[in-house]
Structure 1
Amino acid sequence: MSDQALKRLNKYISDTGLCSRREADKLIEQNRVTINDQQPELGSKVGPDDSVKVDGKIIGAVANDKSDRVYIVYNKPIGITCTTERHVKGNIIDAIKHKNRIFPVGRLDKPSEGLIILTSDGDIVNKILRAENAHDKEYEVTVNQPISDRFIKRMERGVPILGTVTKPCTARATGRNTFTIILTQGLNRQIRRMCEFLGYEVTKLKRTRIMHLELDRLKPGQWRNLTDAELKKLHQSVKSSTKTSIKNIDRTNTQQGNRDKS
């Protein structure tokens, strides 16, 4: 069998949505994984005819066309933490109660609300999260004092936070204390930090859109599957995007699960 027909064992396991590659390596080291009822080594490869078991239970390979993968949009309420760590009270996985193992794409901090994508497709998670891919995200923001023209212009031009200057963005006042902003970046608690630098405090933050995906009529706490049209456009949008390793997903969610990528 050619190497092209083989897949590394940790990727085979992670692609099923069972765990990340890093976690799969731990399962292998703990002798909890078998290939054809034999104990494998780290770095082992499997083919389409091999039987892979974790804790004695067979796990099937994912479909090549990704037809068996999950893609949903969720209207995250205030108080829910975007982490896959089940011991964290109010974690997003327990809140959704999906039968498949899914990952949030990025995060919204606990006091924030709005649209977040969750999926079992690790490749697309990484493509969307890469800041250089310039996938825009739109937010509705309320602050603690009247918004000035200077404030809007400064937000659009860029603000020094976290040792850098934020990328130019689009912002528009929508009321005395409210504005919308469209970002292509994902710095830690970016909107809150930008406002704070300019002397404002965010009192409400809601994400309403990621690329072409919108909340529509979803109420806080509700989720829905992507439509076929939405999914097709999503794959087209990230087709040329650079990927990073899936092993970063769980580590990021664990370390920064309650931080705001907005």
Structure 2
Amino acid sequence: MRLNRYLALCGLGSRRACEDIILAGSVRINGRPVRELSTVVRPEDTVFARGREVRPAAPRCIAFNKPPGCLSSRRSQGDKPTIYDLLPRDAANLAHVGRLDAESEGLLLLTNDGALAQALTHPSRHVEKEYEVILDRPFDPSKTAKLLKGVYLEEGRARAANVRLDAPNKLRVVLTQGINRQIRRMFAALGWDVKRLTRTRLGPLRLGRLPRGGWRELSAKEVDLLRRTTGQR
């Protein structure tokens, strides 16, 4: 296994972040300092990073149905709980993949696989995220083209990859960008207020019937499918 992936599986960050750790001379294998990014770690090797021995944790991914009113963060604000307050204690070392704002709900993935998390959120991967959007009033179907073509925000052009009108004030919107509060801001720019926003899909992974506030472990097949979606093997 390449050293950067090994370190990412140890929870030291994304593969890119782990490459920086290697180049900084902070890694030793069997007592010898290593700076070559092409280094391969063998099963019998002993690896130290930043002065301590590191071993990959067993890869773990969980799907969580985030309820509204809690934060995608490790730090609470005021009386709002964080997602980690609602998850089991042994999930404390898992990082959330992307985030949902406090009032949004739905599918949130958490994992200790830094490389997978990085791949799922990197803009170049164009991983689809699907949302159910409830508006304050009926949507004008003629504005669908505007959502697909793009609405200009501070960060640049924000656009939907797909839009489907399910009811007068209910839409399905697919994004491949990662702009902060993108859906809420896009609809606000067109004159609508989003009353409820639920993520129902991340790549091939669907929320399904997971109850609000509930979580489940992903199967090996589901994790493999996520890796294949991002071009990993």
Q: Normalization by structure 2: what TM-score?
A: 0.78
What amino acid is aligned across from residue 72 of structure 2 in structure 1? Answer: C
Once the two structures are superposed, residues 11-54 of structure 1 have per-residue CA deviations (whole angstroms, 9 ceiling, x without a partner) of 866532377869xx7xxxxxxxx999x9x9997x9985437599
Confirm or deny: 8 A CA contact 1:70 1:120 kept in the other structure: yes
1:90 is matched with 81
- When the two chains are superposed, the root-mean-square deviation of aligned CA atoms in Å is 3.4
Runs of 4+ in 1 over 6 A off after TM superposition: 40-43, 53-56
Query: Is residue 114 from structure 1 mapped to residue 110 from structure 2 by the alignment?
Result: no
2:186 is matched with 194
Choose from 38, 61, 66 the match for 1:76.
Answer: 66
What amino acid is aligned across from residue 65 of structure 2 in structure 1? Answer: N
Q: Aligned pair in 2 of structure 1 residues 186, 195: CA closer, same or farther (>3 Å)?
A: same
What amino acid is aligned across from residue 60 of structure 1 in structure 2? Answer: R
What amino acid is aligned across from residue 182 of structure 1 in structure 2? Answer: V
Q: Normalization by structure 1: what TM-score?
A: 0.70
Q: Distance in 1 between the 2:232 and 2:6 partners?
A: 23
Task: Give aligned pairs, total.
Answer: 220
1:15 is matched with 9
Q: Distance in 2 between the 1:176 and 1:165 partners?
A: 26
Once the two structures are superposed, residues 162-197 of structure 1 have per-residue CA deviations (whole angstroms, 9 ceiling, x without a partner) of 241123521111112111101111111100010010
Matches within 5 A, 1:231-242: 231-239=223-231
What amino acid is aligned across from residue 105 of structure 1 in structure 2? Answer: V
Q: CA deviation at 1:217?
A: 1.1
Segments of 5+ residues of structure 2 without an aligned counterpart are 22-27
Secondary structure of the corresponding residue to residue 191 of structure 1: helix
Segments of 5+ residues of structure 1 without an aligned counterpart are 26-33, 63-67, 242-262
What amino acid is aligned across from residue 9 of structure 2 in structure 1? Answer: D
Confirm or deny: 8 A CA contact 2:12 2:114 kept in the other structure: no
Q: Kindly, what percent of the aligned residue pairs are identical?
A: 32
Q: CA deviation at 1:240?
A: 5.6
